[in-house]
Each structure stands twice: as C-alpha cells, then as structure tokens.
Amino acid sequence: MIFLKGYQWPFDVRKANDSSIVDLLCAEETKKGNRVYLDFRRNPRGLENGFEALSEEAYDYLNNSNALFGTPIERLSKMNEGAIELYASHGIDLYSERLEIAVCAQHCNGGVTVDGAWQTEIEGLYAAGEAAGTFGVYRPGGSALNSTQVGSIRASEHIASRGTVIPESTDYKLPEIKYGESNVMSLMKELQHEMSCAADFDRNLGKMRELYKKVSYLADDFFNVAVISDNYEMNSLFKLYDTVLTQRSVLSAMICSGEVIGSHGSAFVDRKPAKDSEKRTTRTVTRGGVSELCNVSPLPNGELWFEKLLARSRTSKKGI
Ligand SMILES: Cc1cc2nc3c(=O)[nH]c(=O)nc-3n(C[C@H](O)[C@H](O)[C@H](O)COP(=O)(O)OP(=O)(O)OC[C@H]3O[C@@H](n4cnc5c(N)ncnc54)[C@H](O)[C@@H]3O)c2cc1C
C-alpha cells in the first residue's frame, strides 16, 4: 500500500479480507470501462531507494529467488524467462511495452451436479472441470487441474464400460424463430458486461438480483425478443440462448449462497469479510433458475481404505 499513497480507495481496503487488493482495484477500473496495464520496465513508486519498503513477505520472496535487484523485467528474466518468451510468442514484448491485464473468472467452485462417474442428471451427458460442481467451496490450490483430469478419465471409463446411449426421442419442440434486424450480438455483449459488473469474484447482491430478474424475463420470452437477420446466425442465436439459461442458473446459485453464507471461497460478496472458521455442511443445488441449500452427504469414512478403493477401481475398469 505504500506505493499507493494518496490514492483514493474506492472501497474500504480493510474489508478486503484475504481477497487481493490488486485484483479488486483492477476489477474496479475495468468495470468503469478503463484499461489496466502492468509496466515491467519501471519500479513502482517507493522502490527508488532500495527494497526496504517492501512487505516482509514480498522481500523474502525476492530475496529467496536471488532477485532483489533491478527493474521488474530484470527480476522476471532472472526468475521466469519462460513467461517473457510466452508473451513474446503472442507478439507482446515486455521489454518495450506494457501488458494489459484484467481479472479473469477461475474456479467457479460450483457447477453441474455429477455423480462418481462425472455423469450429470441427464443420462449419457457428462461434465468435468469448471463446468462440474466438484471443486468444493475452499478448493485447495492446485487441485482444479487434478479434479478436471480425474473427472474426464472417470467419465471416459464409464462411457467405455457401458457403450453409447442413444435417447429414443429428443422430445424438443423447435421454437419459432424471429427474423429482422439482428440484436443477437448486442444482447450478448450487454449480458456479458452486466454479468462481469455484478457477478465476478467481487459480487454485489443488489445488482445480481436486478440482473437475475432481467435474465429470467429474457429466458422466458427469448424467442420473441431475440431476432436474427438470416439462418447464418442460427448458431449465435442458440449460443445466446445457452448463455441466458446458464446466467439465470448461475445467478440464482450466487444469490442463494450470497444471501445465506456471504463471502466464501473465491466469492467476495458485498465487500463483507467471510465468517471465519464456519464449517460448511451445505451445498447450493440449482434446478433451472431456482436454487436452494441442501445438506452435503457425509464422508463415507469406512470406505476410505486404500486397498478397498483400489479393488473397487479395478472392478469398475472391467465394466462391472
Ligand atoms: C490464471 C490461472 C491459473 C490457474 N492455476 C492453476 C493451478 O496452478 N493449478 C490448478 O490446479 N488449477 C489452476 N487453474 C484452474 C485450472 O486451470 C482450471 O480449473 C482448468 O483448466 C479447467 O479446465 P476446463 O477444461 O474445465 O476449462 P478450460 O481449460 O477453460 O477449457 C474450456 C475450453 O472450452 C473452450 N470453449 C469455451 N466456450 C466455447 C464454445 N462456446 N464453443 C467451443 N469451445 C468453447 C475454451 O476455449 C477452452 O478451450 C488456473 C486457472 C487460471 C485462469
């Protein structure tokens, strides 16, 4: 914070809890329509006369990395040349230009309900990774990729063991499509922008409720509101429909857990700190656009014996 002396904080930084203040500041600016850059060529204010102004953690980090010298680009070059090369391969030269940044949404910590084979409630439809609700609220660092890979392998093993399931009928009534002056792209942009403003990691309950109302109305009346100019836009139309339905479900889940639990995991709700050390025994379950809290299943302790699990895994591989 020493480097931001005189800066007018747009929020009470003490309430930021363990959310990163830099993330919050960056999100704040991009929500206003501003662009945020990292400049690796110059040291930030406060480091003109040495590194003593750094926090103990930052100082130790650089010291342990033998990088307590020079400019940011010189330090990055010492610690991780690969990062510089990666950006260079995308046409960004960190030695001569600034790097535009934004906070991205990662680890949803929620998603489609799946069983032990990562199969959803729709037979034959599987979800793994960010799309599946398997990460847990406080996913330990590094476990997202594991969960994604394990889920994908489990799903493929399950599919291989049981063969293809072809539903007898799709039972889907084709909607009547409206043609005219297309509004599909403008609606998509508007919804994406509003979702980023209300429901990114820095969530606002009031704005999420407003957006939920708008998206629910749109979902119910979608094929009357959305217009395409010709059939070439059919893909975009259904992508927008998918976006609207997903937003409605996701917003309903975010509002439900925001109202009952508040800030948790990677969600910072109304800038209020998380209630510490509260053991979570519930999960948010969403059907369509309606969410509720349900109790989690107890851990099957008796089952967690390595040899038993190994035997079970071998049996399931044989497709039994
Ligand atoms: C900066 C960052 C650092 C991370 N660090 C770690 C870490 O150290 N350890 C860890 O375990 N996890 C980490 N994660 C999380 C982890 O990377 C993700 O949880 C994981 O990659 C999710 O995999 P996925 O297949 O579900 O999604 P993704 O890898 O996001 O794959 C989704 C794919 O779908 C494509 N796609 C999207 N929309 C469409 C569409 N309409 N049509 C067709 N394709 C589409 C996308 O282009 C993308 O290729 C990190 C994530 C980020 C962003």
HEC string of 6-42 equals CCCCCCCHHHHCCCCHHHHHHHHHHHCCCCEEECCCC
Per-residue model confidence (pLDDT) at position 247: 96
89-106 pLDDT per residue, tens: 999 999 999 999 998 877
Expressed in angstroms and rounded, the spacing between residue 130 Cα and the centre of ligand 1 is 7
Last residue of a domain, one of 56, 82, 101: 101
* 88 and 193 assigned to the same domain: no
Rounded to an integer, what distance in angstroms lies between the CA atom of residue 109 and that of residue 130? 8
Please name the residue that has the structure tokens 């260079």.
88
Q: Are 263 and 274 in contact (CB under 8 A)?
A: yes
Q: Would residue 191 count as lying in a domain?
A: yes
Residue to mutate, 20, 26, 106, 153, ligand 1, most ligand atoms under 8 Å from C-beta: 106
Looking at the predicted structure, is the pLDDT value of residue 320 above 50? no
Q: For residue 136, give the nearest of 111, 154, 105, 106 by alpha carbon.
A: 111
Is the beta carbon of 262 within 6 A of some atom in ligand 1?
no
Residue to mutate, 26, 114, 145, ligand 1, most ligand atoms under 8 Å from C-beta: 145
Expressed in angstroms and rounded, the spacing between residue 181 Cα and the centre of ligand 1 is 35
Q: Which of 10-14, 184-188, 246-250, 294-298 has the lowest mean pLDDT?
A: 10-14
CATH of the domain at 256: 1.20.58.100
Structure tokens at 79: 């610690």
User: How many domains does the chain fold into?
Assistant: 2
Residue 291: count other Cβ atoms within 10 Å of its Cβ: 22
Q: Which atom of ligand 1 is nearest to the CA of 106?
A: 53
pLDDT above 90 covers what percent of the chain?
51
Residue to mutate, 87, 101, 103, 148, ligand 1, most ligand atoms under 8 Å from C-beta: 148
Expressed in angstroms and rounded, the spacing between residue 163 Cα and the centre of ligand 1 is 28
| pTM for the structure as a whole | 0.78
For the chain, the residue count is 320
Expressed in angstroms and rounded, the spacing between residue 157 Cα and the centre of ligand 1 is 22
Please give the distance of CA 144 from its chain centroid, rounded to a whole number.
Answer: 11
Q: Would residue 62 count as lying in a domain?
A: yes
Q: For residue 154, give the nearest of 134, 174, 139, 181 by alpha carbon.
A: 134
Residue to mutate, 118, 130, 238, ligand 1, most ligand atoms under 8 Å from C-beta: 130
Rounded to an integer, what distance in angstroms lies between the CA atom of residue 12 and that of residue 1? 13
19-73 pLDDT per residue, tens: 577 888 888 898 888 999 999 999 988 887 889 888 888 899 999 999 999 999 9
Q: Would residue 63 count as lying in a domain?
A: yes
* 90 and 185 assigned to the same domain: no
Looking at the predicted structure, is the pLDDT value of residue 160 above 60? yes
46: left (phi over 0), alpha (psi -120 to 50) or beta: left
Q: Would residue 153 count as lying in a domain?
A: no
pLDDT classification of 12: cutoffs 50, 70, 90:
low
Q: For residue 246, give the nearest of 127, 163, 158, 147 by alpha carbon.
A: 127
Structure tokens at 219: 């979902």
* 93 and 200 assigned to the same domain: no
Q: Would residue 142 count as lying in a domain?
A: no
Q: Are 67 and 78 in contact (CB under 8 A)?
A: yes
Structure tokens at 295: 């109790």
113-147 pLDDT per residue, tens: 899 999 998 888 999 998 898 887 777 777 888 98
Q: Would residue 133 count as lying in a domain?
A: no
The three-state secondary structure class of 292 is strand
Q: For residue 127, give the nearest of 139, 111, 142 by alpha carbon.
A: 111
* Residue closest by Cα to atom 10 of ligand 1: 142
* Residue closest by Cα to atom 53 of ligand 1: 106
Most confident of 6-20, 213-227, 273-287: 213-227
135: left (phi over 0), alpha (psi -120 to 50) or beta: alpha
Looking at the predicted structure, is the pLDDT value of residue 18 above 70? no
* 187 and 277 assigned to the same domain: yes
Which domain, by its residues, includes 204? 178-295
Q: Would residue 12 count as lying in a domain?
A: yes
Rounded to an integer, what distance in angstroms lies between the CA atom of residue 67 and that of residue 75? 5
Q: Are 126 and 119 in contact (CB under 8 A)?
A: yes
Q: For residue 68, give the nearest of 91, 50, 56 by alpha carbon.
A: 50
Please give the distance of CA 97 from its chain centroid, rounded to a whole number.
Answer: 28
Structure tokens at 198: 């209300």
Per-residue model confidence (pLDDT) at position 299: 73
Q: Would residue 126 count as lying in a domain?
A: no
Is the beta carbon of 130 within 6 A of some atom in ligand 1?
yes
* 93 and 190 assigned to the same domain: no
* 76 and 182 assigned to the same domain: no
Expressed in angstroms and rounded, the spacing between residue 142 Cα and the centre of ligand 1 is 13
* Residue closest by Cα to atom 40 of ligand 1: 239
Last residue of a domain, one of 34, 69, 101: 101
